[in-house]
Amino acid sequence: MLDKPVSRPNDLSAYWMPFTANRQFKRAPRMITGADGMHYVTDDGRQVLDGIAGLWCVNAGHNRPKIVEAIQTQAATLDYAPSFQMAHPRAFELATRLADLSPDGLDHVFFTNSGSESVETALKMALAYHRAKGDGGRFRLIGRERGYHGVNFGGISVGGIVANRKMFGTLLTGVDHMRHTHDLSRNAFARGEPEHGVELADDLLRIAQLHDPSTIAAVIVEPVAGSAGVLLPPKGYLKRLREICDEHGILLIFDEVITGYGRLGTNFGADYFGVKPDLMTTAKGLTNGTVPMGAVFAANHIHDAFMSGPDHMIEFFHGYTYSAHPLACAAALGTLDTYAEEGLLSRGAEMADYWADAIHSLKGLPHVIDTRNLGLIGAVELEPIAGAPTKRAFSAFLDAYHNHDLLIRTTGDIIAFSPPLIIEKEHVDQIVDRMTKVLTALD
């Protein structure tokens, strides 16, 4: 018989927190105990305005009845079903609903549990597709500097955020990176897509010439680079990437973990920019952040290339124990119902001008060197403190939370905003008013 476990004090030390300054947090914890609509509730009873939709994911706002009810009902009906060689009806219902939302021709959906897993899945699909087509010499994967594609080995290999890569060895081989599109010298304070920089897409041609285009399997980019600080594609940039990929037989993957499900006022970023990828990774807004889930959309030609050989053979040796988990499927269906009934997937377009005016009204405040926006995404870039990068933005984050009841997101010295799609003009005004006070007080 096991001895009775020794009771230890809950001094917060057991939980190693992700992407967090653990020592700073545990000296002065920021605890959330509830949420509803546009607000979080803190352990000291404050209502904190959610300026970032949780972590870019709570698109429909918090505590939405249809989503809550769907999860509760599913948990009491079917808690789990194996995902290998078995399935449950909700998985097929959800895949059909999603295929109906996706750009024409991306009619097949593979379920994962996160954006990171969606990226790994899409990269493996791209490599395996070329093998299935008899073109196994295509093994290279091309990402972009300052790109974020999750934190698994494939994602950080094609990703281009230095801090996410530098501790983890050689990563995947056969990977290269295009230049990023952020250009303050020409595009500072741009409203919407920047005017300058379409030529940066031709960096893919430079890489193709260096390695031989016949060795490149896929290029992966975020339509809008969110985690790097809301880096916007110049006008025509994504269309040019599509042209180059088509010219050289390269697959184009859009990482839509942030831009999917209404963030830009359209179903997906692909719709907003009028560019159709071959593979599209999603997560976050798929279940409104309630239950972990991701989905990879595959073009018909990708899917069909695998559907050969004996019927009893597995076509794609990949998947997860929790792929298409019943609770996640229920949450996603409840989320899609909520989006549809409230018109939330297009609400970003309706609010875009008011939101743009609000973000750019912060121009001219202390240390602000850029403001930028697209759909219901915004960013304020701050001049770094010499010798102390990230400190100024982190100070703004702490001040906003503790003194102004506003939750923002920082990356480097950039403040990012991505509010729930249910946001009203009064909430936009509150964000601007509170951020004005925060920025004015910055050292």
Say if 14 falls within a structural domain: no
With respect to residue 183, please indicate whether it lies within any of the assigned structural domains: yes
Which residue, 393, 298, 323, is CA-closest to 102? 298
Asked whether residue 1 carries a pLDDT value surpassing 50, the answer given is no
List the CATH number of the domain containing 36.
Answer: 3.90.1150.10
Does residue 257 belong to any structural domain of this protein? yes
Same domain, 187 and 322: yes
pLDDT at 4: 62
Predicted confidence (pLDDT) per residue in 396-439, tens digit: 999 999 999 999 999 999 999 999 999 999 999 999 999 999 99
Question: pLDDT (tens digit, 9 = 90+) per residue, 78-107?
Answer: 999 999 999 999 999 999 999 999 999 999
* 58 and 73 share one domain: no
pLDDT of residue 5: 65
If you average pLDDT over every residue of the chain, what do you get?
A: 97
For residues 234 and 328, state if they share a domain: yes
For residue 385, the SS3 value is strand
Residue 168 Cα distances to 96, 172, 178, 279, angstroms: 39, 11, 21, 27
Single residue among 296, 315, 342 that ends a domain in this structure: 342
pLDDT at residue 299, rounded to an integer:
98
Domain count, the chain: 2
Evaluate if residue 6 carries a pLDDT over 80: no
**What pLDDT is stored for residue 8 in this prediction?**
82
CA–CA separation, 58 vs 50, rounded Å? Answer: 9
Answer whether residue 12 is part of any domain. no
Residue 302 in any domain: the answer is: yes
Task: Say whether 323 sits in a helix, a strand or coil.
Answer: coil
Does residue 357 share a domain with residue 277? no
pLDDT recorded at residue 376: 98
At residue 226, the pLDDT reads 94
Residues 175 and 292 occupy one common structural domain: yes
Domain match, 166 and 78 both: yes
Binned at pLDDT 50, 70 and 90, residue 3 comes out as low
Quick check: helix, strand or coil at residue 27? helix
In the predicted model, is pLDDT for residue 383 greater than 90? Answer: yes
Question: Pick from 317, 342, 367: which residue ends a domain?
Answer: 342
How far, in whole angstroms, is CA 25 from its chain's centroid?
24
Mean of pLDDT values over 135-147: 97
- Res 7: pLDDT: 78
User: Which pLDDT score, from 0 to 100, does residue 294 have?
Assistant: 98
Q: Is residue 6 part of a domain?
A: no
Question: Model confidence over 39-75: pLDDT tens digits?
Answer: 999 999 999 999 999 999 999 999 999 999 999 999 9
Residue 1 lies in a domain: no
pLDDT, position 229: 94
pLDDT, tens digit (0-9, with 9 covering 90-100), for 204-246: 999 999 999 999 999 999 999 999 999 999 999 999 999 999 9
For residues 84 and 186, state if they share a domain: yes
Q: Average pLDDT, stretch 300-304?
A: 98
User: Which pLDDT score is estimated for 9?
Assistant: 86
End residue of a domain, out of 342, 374, 405? 342
| Helix/strand/coil for 150 | coil
pTM: 0.97
* 231: its two tokens: 């880096």
Q: What is the pLDDT of residues 332-380, one digit of tens each?
A: 999 999 999 999 999 999 999 999 999 999 999 999 999 999 999 999 9
- Do 43 and 104 sit in the same domain of this protein? no
Regarding whether 413 and 274 lie in a shared domain, the answer is no
Query: How does 241-255 read in b/e, with b if 16+ C-beta sit within 10 Å?
Result: bbebbeeeebbbbbb
338 and 372 belong to one structural domain: no
Q: Are residues 178 and 254 in the same domain?
A: yes
Decide: 141 and 175 in contact? Cβ < 8 Å.
yes
282 located within any domain = yes
Whether residues 119 and 196 share a domain: the answer is yes
- For residue 2, pLDDT over 70 is answered with no
Domain that holds residue 401: 22-63+344-440
